Structure 1
Amino acid sequence: MQVVATLSLKGGVGKTTVALGLAGAAAAHGIPTLLVDLDPQANTTIATDVDPTTGTIADVLDDPSRSSLRRAIAGSAWNEALDVLVGTEQNERHNHPDPSDKQLDRLRRALSRLDDPDLGSRVGRTATTPGDPYQLVIIDCPPSLGQLTRSALAAADRAILVTDPTMFAVSGVQRAFDAVQSERERGNQELQPLGVLVNRVRPRNIEHDYRIGELRELFGPLVFSSVLPDRSAVQQAQGACLPIQAWDTPGAREVSAVFTALLGRLLRSRSRTRA
């Protein structure tokens, strides 16, 4: 099981869009996936049109047990390969600015219990390796560096740093990169930044070209060569509670291709680690 966090310490850059797009790409390729909605806004949960549950991720962070997980995981109407650990505004009570190590470890402990055969609610144990109903876990973090985001980094193998091509992009990426490094120093040696993904890019925009160049000058190959174009199809698909992969327009196909490439890079990074 591979765990990836979508991370931004600057609000409004499309971090949730990236989590949803990556989840949609994985599900479209038949990869059993769990999408974890840590953001108190719970937009990921709304957009994936989940089945009703009797629990949420806030309950799991109160009690990271198999029974709590079982109550908080829902199937998504998007695809049978996608389940969601549902979010709620109550997540905010777990977003302490100075959490203890025990608090930071609760999400990792909960995810380690995903080997329960009853948890693959719609995917099924046979879809992946025995004892593990999910091949991929995607964590959508809130845009702040409190307990929730740090918990995600404590549980993750990889982090995707999301930004947009504005004058604040460099400082936001630097803070996110520093957060990844801090978590590695705290104890999660498996954690690595997968890369920086620039979202909402407009072609032939001088300011956007300049900011992307600035990011590449400072962060080098960590910045993905592919960027996410600014397309209205993204908002349209989310408004219809559909994955971008199911929205049949040229703009949607353009965005979907970026997410397919991102998924491939993520899966290859796991293979290299194992090798």
Structure 2
Amino acid sequence: MQILSVSSLKGGVGKTSVTMGLASAALHQGVRTLVVDLDPHADSTTGLAVARGTGTEAGQLLRDAKRANLSDHVVRSGWVDLLPQEHRSDATLDVVVGSALSAAFDRPDIRPRDMRRLRLLLLDRVTGYDLVLIDCPPSLAGLTRIGWSASNGVLMVAEPSLFSVAGTERTMRAIRMFSNEYAPQLKSAGVVVNRVRADSAEHEYRLLEMERLYKDKLMLPVLEENPFWQQIQGAAYPVHQWPSDQVRDLARSFDQLLEQLV
């Protein structure tokens, strides 16, 4: 089972969008997937068409980590119901729902034993998934540390901008330090560059800078800005099921990224 934390220490770069794009690709390819929504804003939960108030939310499960069986509390994504009838029975896309209650664990001084709560839930009591995607908050406080402690790798999300490049460098340093101190299994899975505009000289410059800084960690293809993407997320719809040819290239890009991660 591949467990990836989708992270950025800078907000607003589309971290949740990338999580949902990869979840859509996984559903399309038949990869059995669990999305853990650790962000107190719970945008992944909403985007995956899970009704608020459904299931046991992440904060409560973290509190009950020693007793809870995670498989009893996951909720099926509403995306599965959008598949053709003959494919639904074989599809697996489940969600550990997020809510503001999980913010109780988002402390900068979280104890090492609390960092291991999600790892206990995932590794000891969950089977049947090929991929787990953990949507982390955009900070290095308690919830991100909980996600990283449970993960094999951190998938970083960046934009081709000065502040995002600097934030990604900070994230890479933080992963190395965290791995050395708390999670020796943790590696940098790669950097996904989001919202790239092909006609922007600044974006072209920043992409060249990222190639130089991140080398083999920079994942291709980059995700080009798409005017339909916001509409798709607003509809809580998988990009692979969206009835428009204008997003076909975007869906294919997520397919290619997923194949490198799983």
Write the letter of the residue equivalent to 1:102.
Answer: R
Amino acid at match of 1:10: K
Tell me the equivalent position of 1:55: 56
1:139 aligns with 2:134: yes
Query: 1:204 offset after TM fit, Å?
Result: 2.0
Query: Does the aligned pair in 2 maintain the 1:233–1:244 contact within 8 Å?
Result: no
Alignment of 1:181-192 (within 5 A): 181-192=176-187
Higher RCO (C-alpha 8 Å, min separation 6): 2
Q: What residue is the counterpart of 2:233 in the other structure? A: 238
User: Mean alpha-carbon deviation: is it higher for 50-59 or for 203-212?
Assistant: 50-59
2:167 maps to 172
User: Does 2:117 match 1:106?
Assistant: yes
Q: In structure 2, what is the Cα distance between the partners aligned to 1:135 and 1:150? A: 22
Tell me the CA shift for residue 189 of structure 1: 2.2
Q: CA deviation at 1:65?
A: 4.2
Q: CA deviation at 1:217?
A: 1.4
CA contact (8 A) 2:37 2:45 kept: yes
Per-residue CA deviation, residues 2-23 of structure 1 (Å, 9 max, x unaligned), is 1011110100000001111111
Opposite residue 140 of structure 2, the aligned amino acid is: L
Q: What is the Cα-based RMSD across aligned positions, in Å? A: 1.5
List alignment gaps of at least 5 residues for structure 2: 81-90
- In 2, the alpha carbon distance for the partners of 1:70 and 1:32 equals 13
**CA deviation after TM superposition for structure 1 residue 248, in Å:** 2.9
1:202 aligns with 2:197: yes
For 2:199 and 2:134, the matched residues in 1 are separated by 33
Matched with 2:88 is none
Instruction: Report the Cα offset of residue 90 of structure 1.
Output: 1.2
Task: Output the CA distance in 2 between the equivalents of 1:109 and 1:233.
Answer: 39
Distance in 2, Cα, partners of 1:204 & 1:55: 45
| 1:67-123 Cα distance to aligned partner (Å, 9 max, x none) | 3635541011112410000000111111011111011111111112333xxxxxxxx
Counterpart secondary structure, 1:214:
helix
Could you give the per-residue CA deviations for residues 148-193 of structure 1, whole angstroms, max 9, x where no partner exists?
A: 1111111111111101011112211111111211221023222111
CA contact (8 A) 2:223 2:250 kept: yes
Alignment equivalent of 1:149, drawn from 100, 120, 144: 144
Paired position in structure 1 for 2:37: 37
Unmatched segments (≥5 aa) in structure 1: 116-131, 268-275
Instruction: Give 3-state SS (helix, strand or coil) of 1:226's partner.
Output: coil
Percentage of pairs with the same residue = 38
SS of the equivalent of 1:5 reads strand
Partner amino acid, structure 2, of 1:192 = K
Residue identity opposite 1:110 in structure 2: L
Q: State which of 213, 220, 223 in structure 1 corresponds to 2:208.
A: 213
TM-score, normalised with respect to structure 2: 0.91
Count of equivalent residues: 251
| Aligned-partner SS, 2:6 | strand
In the alignment, residue 103 of structure 1 is paired with which amino acid? D
CA distance in 2, matches of 1:223, 1:135: 23
- Is residue 259 from structure 1 mapped to residue 254 from structure 2 by the alignment? yes
Range with greater deviation from structure 2 (64-73 or 177-186): 64-73
Amino acid at match of 2:123: S
> Structure 1 residues 148, 188: closer, same or farther in 2, change over 3 A?
same
Structure 1 stretch displaced more, 191-200 or 48-57: 48-57
Q: Normalising to structure 1: TM-score of the pair? A: 0.87
Q: What is the aligned partner in structure 2 of residue 22 from structure 1?
A: 22
